[in-house]
Amino acid sequence: MIKKLLACIREYKRPTILTLIFITGEVIIEALIPFITADLVNKVQQGAELKGVVQTGIILLIMAVISLICGGSAGFTCAKASAGFAKNLRRDMFRKIQTYSFKNIDKFSSSSLVTRMTTDVANVQMAYMMLIRMAIRAPLLLTFSIVMAYVMGGALATSFVVIIPFLVFGLLLVARNAMPAFRRVFKKYDRLNESIEENVRGMRVVKGFSRQEYEKEKFAFAAETIREDFTRAERIVALNTPLMQICVYFNMLFVLFIGSKLIITSGGSVINVGDITAMLTYGMQILMQLMMLSMIYVTLTMSSESIKRIVEILDEKSTLTDPENPITTISDGSIDFCDVSFKYSERAERYALSNVNLHIDSGMTVGILGTTGSGKSTIVQLIPRLYDASVGKVMVGKKDVRQYDLEALRNQVAMVLQKNVLFSGTIRDNLKWGNPDATDAEILKACELSQALEFINSFPEGLDTMIEQGGTNVSGGQKQRLCIARALLKKPKILILDDSTSAVDTKTDMLIRRGFKQYIPETTKIIIAQRVASVQDADMIIVMNNGEMAAVGDHESLMKNCDIYREIYIQQTNGGSINDD
């Protein structure tokens, strides 16, 4: 898992390695400074010459400056490495997601994909930055300090034999107890926030039923529970500070008392006054680094969840692949379903579509009616191979859709989705999705056909009108008409409208269909609709029910033979007749 992630470092290996080098340099010098300072202090104590003292001082100064340069550069390269790593992660994830099939997309909700690409990547970036800065610094400084302390202090360094195991044990104990406690709390905390969100969203319901007091009580209970759990978890972590202080204090007393004894008994030969400074500094350094290591441990375990979620995206394999020798041309717009059954997930018990056999001639207009969940959308999604049939085969232009190059197939089978989306940008930008090379004349023609021209012209900026994210500044009906125009610009052999005129008034709806008949007679047109009026004059109407084709025929024959169709018809016209013209 980690391997997969680290493979994304790529060109940022260089700054990563540079960081490690700079930090090593900084650490070596930092570890040497107290050593040489002690030497200086000893020299002073023994009454050395001014010249010698100044010389050592200058050496120390140069060392400190080098350490400063190393430290500063490490900060720089480390920022580059971690930001670059994060960039590559996002880049790879985005690319990977672009290869996903509809089936893959169904697996992840779009909000979860967004969180993975933002929050989770940010977590990993933080962890990586900490890792390359601290993971080498802490152990290195630790080892150096311990070695130096032994070299200088000899017996004095035995205090570390006591302190280090004590502190390591203590820190681990705290981390191991605190982490699961925190994880539990965070889950509860998420739930608390979810319930706040419910309240914010449903405030009309809360107030409508006068349930404010009830909600307050409910919230108070949840908030108090969380407070108890949080306090418990934080109190465990809070033990770190006194633990650390005990060690610092112990070291101080030990060095002071035993150090004095050593100096006196040896007459200053084994250890000297200057060494005491170094021992105190090293002691501090050792303890700080142990603390750092425990922080790294916590950060890494905390970010493991994010790592898992990122790798999940990178590991997901697209369920649709291009065939080996793909066909790139599609002869005509005929469609055949041969014994097709389909379910969205292998584990699903029921087929969403079962035993569909159907032939549609090129250039036909086909209407599909049925309740929600009856399989209307499912059946058309198999045509541009958004999903593969579980059983049987779907053919376009007399060839199995799985033999075509995916892009070629989808370019010839234009589909206007039910949950349609316009992107931020001008109307022209959006329409050019259908054909990047479309001229203004072509765009306007498509808009005319989809009855969008009139309202586009009413905007002062015309085609250059900006669409806001999610298309919130155009009405539902206008949005649908723009989406149809976008699909028309593909000049497809097959055009599928999945409930794409539901917000358009009946008259415009009719004009759109009339335009289709007149200007794109060769294109096979499949129209899914709620309104009978939208499909009434189709060459063929399919009535879907519970994933099966309940009936196929034209309006007259269905009125005679199909109960469901007749029921829908009567319900919508309420016995009266609809004035369609």
Partner 1 sequence: MTTEQNKKPKFNKNTFFRVIRLLFKYYPVLVPLTALCIVFSAAVSSIPSLFVQRVLQAVDTALKTGDLNWDTIKTSIFPTVLLLACLYVLSVIFITLHTQLMAYITQGFLCKLRRGMFEHMQDLPIRFFDTNKHGDIMSYYTNDIDALRQLVSQSLPQLLQSAVIVLTVFFIMLWFSVWMTLIILVGVSAMILVSRKIGGGSSKYFVRRQISIGKTEAFVQEMMNGQRVIKVFCHEEAAINDFDKINEVLYDDTFKANAYANSLGPIINNIGNVLYVLCATASGVFLISGISNVSISGLAFSISILVPFLNMTKQFTGNLNNLTQQMNAIIMGLAGAQRVFSLMDEEPERDDGYVSLVNCTVDENGNILESEKQTGKWAWRHPHGDGSVTYTPLQGDVRLFDVDFGYEEGKTVLHGVSVYAEPGQKVAFVGATGAGKTTITNLINRFYDIADGKIRYDGININKIKKSDLRRSLGIVLQDTNLFTGTVMENIRYGRLDATDEECMQAAKLAGADDFITRLPEGYMTELNSNGANLSQGQRQLIAIARAAVANPPVMILDEATSSIDTRTEAIVQRGMDKLMEGRTVFVIAHRLSTIMNSDVIMVLDHGRIIERGSHEKLLSDKGVYYQLYTGVFELE
Which residues within the stretch 77-96 sit at the binding site for partner 1 (CB under 8 A)? 78-80, 82-84, 86-87, 90-91, 94-95
State whether residue 425 is helix, strand or coil.
Answer: strand
Q: To which H or E segment does residue 409 belong? A: helix 406-412
65 binds partner 1 (CB under 8 A): yes
CB of 155 to partner 1, least distance (A): 14
574 binds partner 1 (CB under 8 A): yes
Site string for partner 1, 348-387 (x = CB under 8 A): -----------------------xxx----------x-x-
505 binds partner 1 (CB under 8 A): yes
Scanning residues 191 to 220, which ones bind partner 1 (CB under 8 A)? 191, 193-212, 214-216, 219-220
CB of 50 to partner 1, least distance (A): 5
446 binds partner 1 (CB under 8 A): no
Q: Which window, 46-54, 296-304, 330-338, 355-363, contacts partner 1 (CB under 8 A)?
A: 46-54
Binding partner 1 by CB under 8 A: which of 6, 61, 161, 168?
A: 61
Binding partner 1 by CB under 8 A: which of 21, 28, 33, 175?
A: 33
Which two structure tokens, joined as six digits, stand for 108?
Answer: 């992840």
Question: With respect to partner 1, which residue has the nearer C-beta, 175 or 196?
Answer: 196
The residues near 59 (Cβ < 8 Å, ≥ 6 apart) are 36
Question: With respect to partner 1, which residue has the nearer C-beta, 463 or 532?
Answer: 532
Per DSSP, the chain holds a count of helices (H) and strands (E) of: 21, 12
Question: With respect to partner 1, which residue has the nearer C-beta, 29 or 290?
Answer: 29
Binding partner 1 by CB under 8 A: which of 136, 273, 291, 314?
A: 273
Scanning residues 388 to 407, which ones bind partner 1 (CB under 8 A)? 406-407
224 binds partner 1 (CB under 8 A): yes
Binding partner 1 by CB under 8 A: which of 43, 103, 183, 188?
A: 43
C-alpha distances in Å from residue 19, one per residue of 22, 25, 62, 139 = 5, 10, 21, 15
C-alpha distances in Å from residue 242, one per residue of 163, 238, 409, 479 = 13, 8, 68, 63
Q: To which H or E segment does residue 340 belong? A: strand 335-342
Binding partner 1 by CB under 8 A: which of 319, 469, 472, 557?
A: 469
Binding partner 1 by CB under 8 A: which of 352, 477, 488, 547?
A: 477
Binding partner 1 by CB under 8 A: which of 11, 234, 440, 539?
A: 234
Q: Rounded to whole angstroms, how far apart are CA atoms 201 and 274?
A: 68
Which two structure tokens, joined as six digits, stand for 244?
Answer: 């650390």
Please count the residues of this chain forming the interface with partner 1, following the rule CB under 8 A: 164
Paired strand residues for 396? 335, 399
Binding partner 1 by CB under 8 A: which of 304, 341, 508, 546?
A: 508
CB of 158 to partner 1, least distance (A): 18
11 binds partner 1 (CB under 8 A): no
Which two structure tokens, joined as six digits, stand for 121?
Answer: 């990547």
State how far Cα 437 lies from the chain centre: 32
Site string for partner 1, 243-262 (x = CB under 8 A): --xx--x--xx--xx--xx-
C-alpha dihedral, 92 to 96 to 97 to 98, nearest 10°: 110
Binding partner 1 by CB under 8 A: which of 35, 142, 156, 274?
A: 274
Which two structure tokens, joined as six digits, stand for 34?
Answer: 């107290």
Which two structure tokens, joined as six digits, stand for 262?
Answer: 């050593």
Q: Rounded to whole angstroms, how far apart are CA atoms 388 and 548?
A: 17
Instruction: Name the phi and psi angles at 465, rounded to 5.
Output: -60, 135
Binding partner 1 by CB under 8 A: which of 21, 291, 338, 417?
A: 417
Q: Rounded to whole angstroms, how far apart are CA atoms 29 and 35?
A: 10
Q: To which H or E segment does residue 534 belong? A: helix 532-535
Q: Rounded to whole angstroms, how far apart are CA atoms 197 and 259?
A: 62
17 binds partner 1 (CB under 8 A): no
Paired strand residues for 394? 337
Scanning the structure block, which residue is given the tokens 């047109």?
A: 525
CB of 524 to partner 1, least distance (A): 16
315 binds partner 1 (CB under 8 A): no
242 binds partner 1 (CB under 8 A): yes
Q: Which of 238, 254, 237, 192 is nearest to 218 (CA)?
A: 192
